[in-house]
Amino acid sequence: MSIDELSIGLDQPPNQLILDGAALFLDLDGTLAPIAARPEDVRPDPRRNTLLTKLAQRLHGRLAVVSGRSLDDIDRILEGRIACVAAIHGLVRRDAHGVVGEAPQHPGLAAARAALIDFVAADPRLLMEDKSLSLTLHYRLAPDRAQEAVDLAERLATVTGLALQPGDMVVELRTPGASKGDAIRAFMAETPFRGARPVFLGDDMTDEHGFFAAQQLGGYGVLVGPPRRTAARYRMEGVEATLAWLEQAR
What residues are annotated to the active site?
27
**Which amino acid, one-letter code, is at 161?**
G
| CB neighbour list of residue 18: distance below 8 Å, 6 or more residues apart | 249, 250
Task: Please state the φ and ψ torsions of residue 220, each to the nearest 5 degrees.
Answer: -160, 165
Given a contact cutoff of 8 angstroms between Cβ atoms, the answer to whether 210 and 25 are in contact is yes
Q: CA nearest 68: which of 193, 249, 207, 185? A: 207
Give the 3-state secondary structure of residue 248: coil
Distance CA 126, CA 123 (A): 6
Tally Cβ neighbours within 10 Å of residue 207. Answer: 31
Distance CA 208, CA 205 (A): 5
Residue 165's beta-bridge partner residues?
A: 172
Which DSSP symbol is given to 247? Answer: H
Distance CA 23, CA 111 (A): 40
